[in-house]
Amino acid sequence: MQLKAVLFDLDGTLLDTAGDMGAAANHVITGLGLAALPDKVLACTTSDGAYALLRAGIPPALLEQHGLERLRGRMLEFYGENLCRHTRPYDGVAELLGWLDQGRIPWGIVTNKPAALTEPLLAGLPLFASCGVTVSADTLPQKKPHPAPLLHAAERLAVAATQCIYVGDHRRDIEAGRAAGMVTIAAGWGYISAGEHPGDWQADAVLDSVPALWHWLRDAFSPGC
């Protein structure tokens, strides 16, 4: 079946948000008198979200004492006030999205980031003005690895799920894409969790850079494919 659309994860796939997510986590962690998480830990934990970042820097007893949900609330409040200080698109993303727009290939974002953070983040980056659909963690009752958010995005783009490609940097992205019947691509340039190997996720392709993804997509959407 002919491919017609591309869906992306956000953090670690289109945007390098580790600097701002890490700053928010470290704001909470250092506020408890603990050492800040180093960049190496942030790079392999950011894709797992706020809970994972806090657990990486705060001992279990202290988490219980202060309450994980309360600490997460502090972290997300700080993050929401500092969404785009260090966040940048990965090299090649602007060119890739421009190529999709020029070719009139619909594209969208399916993320496990809450809408209250996703929407202002994207609104602050003109690069995403032509995004055809955005599905956040709380758009539906389900979130990835459930396939429902991807199926919803495909429906919003008026494209069959089997005609979509989903690109993400986490095992749950590939699981969700496969369950939705989409072609899946593992973003090897993203926030790969410690001990994870994208080659084990059963994606249709594992790519190591955004330019490599662009090359793959040019072939996939070329006439006759």
Q: State the pLDDT confidence band at 204, using cuts at 50, 70 and 90.
A: very high
The last residue of one of the domains, among 81, 101, 129, is 81
The last residue of one of the domains, among 81, 106, 128, is 81
For residues 199 and 161, membership in a common domain is answered with: yes
How large is the average pLDDT for residues 134-148? 98
- Domain with residue 163: its CATH number is 3.40.50.1000
Range of the domain at 180: 5-16+87-220
Domain membership flag for residue 193: yes
Q: What are phi and psi of 204, to 5 degrees?
A: -70, -25
Domain membership flag for residue 145: yes
For residues 108 and 184, membership in a common domain is answered with: yes
Catalytic (active-site) positions? 9
Residue 41, SS3 per DSSP: helix
Looking at residue 100, what is its pLDDT?
97
Q: Read off the pLDDT of residues 85-99 as tens digits, 9 standing for 90 and up.
A: 999 999 999 999 999
Q: Read off the pLDDT of residues 147-181 as tens digits, 9 standing for 90 and up.
A: 999 999 999 999 999 999 999 999 999 999 999 99
In percent, the amount of the chain with pLDDT more than 90 equals: 92
For residues 44 and 171, the answer to whether their CB atoms sit within 8 Å is no
Angle at 190 between CA 223 and CA 95, to 5 degrees: 40
> For the chain, how many structural domains are there in total?
2
